[in-house]
């Protein structure tokens, strides 16, 4: 083929990129295209996304190519560029959200109308969503049987980055947003993601099984934002972790990600509707939700998690479970309200993972024990035994003895500057 457009969306890397690798193998000139779509709100992720695009452009330029950037509707912009260049085909990575699927359908119609070949490639998950089906069902509703099937499934090979990308002559590359000011948050992009992966494999993975719930010490990979934007490939992460000490427990979590992708594919309403209906008298008290968002519920472990999220665009998984369970089970605020706030702020917020987990926490999702309610104080004592995590994010409590850090309402006198608990905790 002469010219192929590779439409990139949330697969911002050159390593192990099946669509890009195939285009480079088949076509004389390859046009990697990213369309900034005003319909997608990147919210707290804009800075990370901009850095990922800058990094990808640099990697493609090193290989003789470029990242072509446009703004507008991705289907219209792809068609416009294809017409300008006389491209014969569009390659892109298949994705699962309702929006991504609609975009794929529209792209298929437009390509058919313009006699362009459209090919969809894997790469967003390890095992393609929908590839594994239980007998008598279209997707797995329970994790453990999925994990079993997933562990035995055939895998595609992990691909190297292309040596050279030859761009069609005369393409206007388009401008990227300038890099923002320095910041202390996770830097976006494939280079940073690969660096983190290397460091994690060498220094973190072996302690994962014991350490993943350690709240103050953050002994998890922090690869999720890189997986979210495809800066690292989930297949490569899984392949490189497998067989190493700590690898099993870690790869199981990567499988949870694939699990929610196949749930989201089968149930596109995941962000909007109960996956498993549950009668709850949701509390529409806006003030309780607002106190939760701002980290002033009076429950230190919850406030610490929420303040970590606001400051870093990040929250430890254990804190996500505690804050999510508290919002939906204790305050009885609807899971959609919690999920929207996470979607606003989390660097890794992703439709299948965010909404799948929120529904799990609220008991409307894939939990086989939907009545499970976490006791936040017990969780705090277990996973933050010295109160270090709470002290870091709730400085009002920093000078107190550990018992008071976890249960300040037991102090003889109320603490100035820290709220009384929004709801009393029973022992459940």
Ligand X SMILES: Cc1cc2nc3c(=O)[nH]c(=O)nc-3n(C[C@H](O)[C@H](O)[C@H](O)COP(=O)(O)OP(=O)(O)OC[C@H]3O[C@@H](n4cnc5c(N)ncnc54)[C@H](O)[C@@H]3O)c2cc1C
Write the DSSP assignment of 31-89 as a string of letters. Answer: EEEEEE-TTS--GGGHHHHHHHHHHHHHHHHHTT---EEEES-HHHHHHHHHHHHT--E
Residue 389: enclosing H or E segment and its boundaries?
Answer: helix 388-393
Asked if 342 is part of the footprint of ligand X (rule: CB under 6 A), the reply reads: yes
Q: Which stretch binds ligand X (CB under 6 A): 67-75, 135-143, 169-177, 350-358?
A: 350-358
Q: What is the DSSP letter of 131?
A: S
Which residue of 37, 55, 214, 353 would you call a contact of ligand X, by CB under 6 A?
A: 353
Which residue of 161, 197, 227, 231 would you call a contact of ligand X, by CB under 6 A?
A: 227
Q: Which stretch binds ligand X (CB under 6 A): 4-12, 117-125, 219-227, 283-291?
A: 219-227
**SS3 (DSSP) at 384:** coil
Tokens 């350490």 map to which residue? Answer: 211
Which residue of 11, 77, 190, 350 would you call a contact of ligand X, by CB under 6 A?
A: 350
Q: Which stretch binds ligand X (CB under 6 A): 42-50, 352-360, 375-383, 406-414?
A: 352-360
Distance set, CA 365 to CA 97, 334, 361 (Å): 17, 13, 8
Is the Cβ–Cβ distance between 150 and 258 less than 8 Å?
Answer: yes
C-alpha span between 101 and 99 (Å, rounded): 5
Asked if 260 is part of the footprint of ligand X (rule: CB under 6 A), the reply reads: yes
Q: Which residues contact 320 (CB under 8 A, 6 or more apart)?
A: 305, 342, 357, 361
The count of residues interacting with ligand X (CB under 6 A) is: 27
Asked if 236 is part of the footprint of ligand X (rule: CB under 6 A), the reply reads: no
Asked if 185 is part of the footprint of ligand X (rule: CB under 6 A), the reply reads: no
Report residue 82 CA to chain centroid gap: 31
Tokens 């899971």 map to which residue? Answer: 335
- Report the 10 Å Cβ neighbour count for 180: 10
CB of 260 to ligand X, least distance (A): 5
CB of 326 to ligand X, least distance (A): 11
Is the Cβ–Cβ distance between 124 and 261 less than 8 Å?
Answer: yes
Asked if 375 is part of the footprint of ligand X (rule: CB under 6 A), the reply reads: no
Q: Which stretch binds ligand X (CB under 6 A): 98-106, 120-128, 221-229, 287-295?
A: 221-229
Asked if 212 is part of the footprint of ligand X (rule: CB under 6 A), the reply reads: yes
Q: Which stretch binds ligand X (CB under 6 A): 68-76, 135-143, 280-288, 351-359?
A: 351-359
Backbone angles phi, psi at 90, to 5 degrees: -125, 125
* Closest by CA position to 276, among listed 135, 137, 141: 141
C-alpha span between 370 and 366 (Å, rounded): 8
Which residue lies nearer to ligand X by CB, 150 or 260?
A: 260
Which residue lies nearer to ligand X by CB, 14 or 251?
A: 251
Which residue lies nearer to ligand X by CB, 319 or 394?
A: 319
Q: Which stretch binds ligand X (CB under 6 A): 111-119, 143-151, 173-181, 214-222?
A: 214-222
**SS3 (DSSP) at 120:** strand
Which residue of 67, 361, 374, 394 would you call a contact of ligand X, by CB under 6 A?
A: 361
Which residue lies nearer to ligand X by CB, 49 or 107?
A: 49
Q: Pattern of binders to ligand X over 298-327, x per CB under 6 A?
A: -------------------x--xx--x---
Which residue of 9, 97, 224, 262 would you call a contact of ligand X, by CB under 6 A?
A: 224
CA max distance for the chain: 78
70 forms beta bridges with 35
**The tokens of 17 are what?**
């990129």
Asked if 222 is part of the footprint of ligand X (rule: CB under 6 A), the reply reads: yes
CB of 257 to ligand X, least distance (A): 4
Which residue lies nearer to ligand X by CB, 91 or 261?
A: 261
CB of 15 to ligand X, least distance (A): 17
Which residue lies nearer to ligand X by CB, 69 or 362?
A: 362
Q: Using alpha carbons only, what angle is made at residue 72 by residues 77 and 62, rounded to the nearest 5 degrees? A: 65
CB of 66 to ligand X, least distance (A): 30
Which residue lies nearer to ligand X by CB, 60 or 227?
A: 227
4 forms beta bridges with 30, 89
**The tokens of 36 are what?**
């900034």
Length of the chain counted residue by residue: 428
Q: Write out the residues near ligand X by the rule CB under 6 A.
A: 212, 220-224, 227-228, 253-254, 256-257, 260, 317, 320-321, 324, 342, 346, 348-350, 353-354, 357-358, 361
């Amino acid at each position: 083929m002469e010219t192929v457009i590779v439409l990139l969306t949330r697969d911002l890397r050159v390593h192990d990129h099946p669509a890009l690798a195939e285009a480079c193998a088949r076509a004389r000139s390859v046009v990697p295209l990213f369309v900034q779509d005003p319909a997608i709100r990147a919210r707290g992720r804009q800075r990370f996304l901009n850095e990922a695009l800058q990094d990808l452009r640099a990697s493609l330029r090193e290989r003789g190519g470029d990242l072509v950037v446009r703004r507008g509707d991705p289907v219209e912009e792809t068609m416009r560029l294809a017409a300008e260049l006389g491209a014969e085909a569009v390659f892109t990575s298949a994705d699962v959200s309702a929006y991504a699927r609609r975009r794929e359908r529209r792209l298929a119609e437009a390509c058919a109308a313009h006699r362009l070949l459209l090919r969809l490639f894997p790469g967003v998950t390890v095992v393609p969503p929908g590839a594994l089906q239980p007998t008598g069902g279209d997707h797995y509703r329970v994790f453990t049987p999925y994990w079993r099937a997933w562990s035995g499934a055939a895998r595609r090979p992990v691909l190297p980055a292309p040596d050279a990308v030859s761009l069609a002559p005369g393409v206007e590359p388009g401008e990227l947003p300038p890099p923002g000011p320095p910041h202390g948050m996770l830097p976006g992009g494939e280079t940073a993601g690969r660096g983190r992966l290397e460091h994690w494999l060498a220094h973190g993975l072996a302690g994962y099984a014991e350490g993943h719930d350690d709240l103050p010490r953050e002994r998890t990979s922090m690869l999720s934002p890189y997986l979210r934007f495809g800066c690292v490939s989930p297949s490569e992460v899984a392949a490189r972790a497998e067989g190493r000490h700590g690898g099993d427990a870690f790869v199981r979590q990567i499988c949870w990600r694939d699990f929610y992708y196949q749930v989201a594919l089968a149930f596109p309403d995941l962000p909007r509707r109960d996956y498993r209906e549950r009668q709850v008298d949701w509390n529409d008290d806006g003030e309780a939700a607002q106190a939760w968002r701002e980290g002033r519920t009076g429950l230190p472990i919850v406030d610490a998690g929420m303040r970590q999220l606001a400051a870093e665009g990040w929250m430890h998984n254990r804190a996500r479970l505690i804050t999510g369970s508290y919002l939906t089970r204790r305050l009885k605020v609807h899971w959609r309200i919690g999920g929207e706030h996470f979607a606003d702020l989390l660097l890794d917020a992703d439709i299948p993972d965010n909404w799948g987990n929120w529904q799990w926490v609220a008991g409307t999702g894939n939990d086989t024990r939907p009545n499970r309610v976490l006791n936040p104080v017990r969780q705090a004592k277990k996973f933050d035994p010295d109160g270090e995590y709470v002290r870091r994010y709730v400085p009002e409590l920093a000078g107190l003895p550990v018992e008071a850090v976890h249960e300040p309402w037991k102090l003889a006198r109320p603490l100035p500057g820290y709220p009384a608990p929004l709801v009393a905790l029973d022992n459940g």
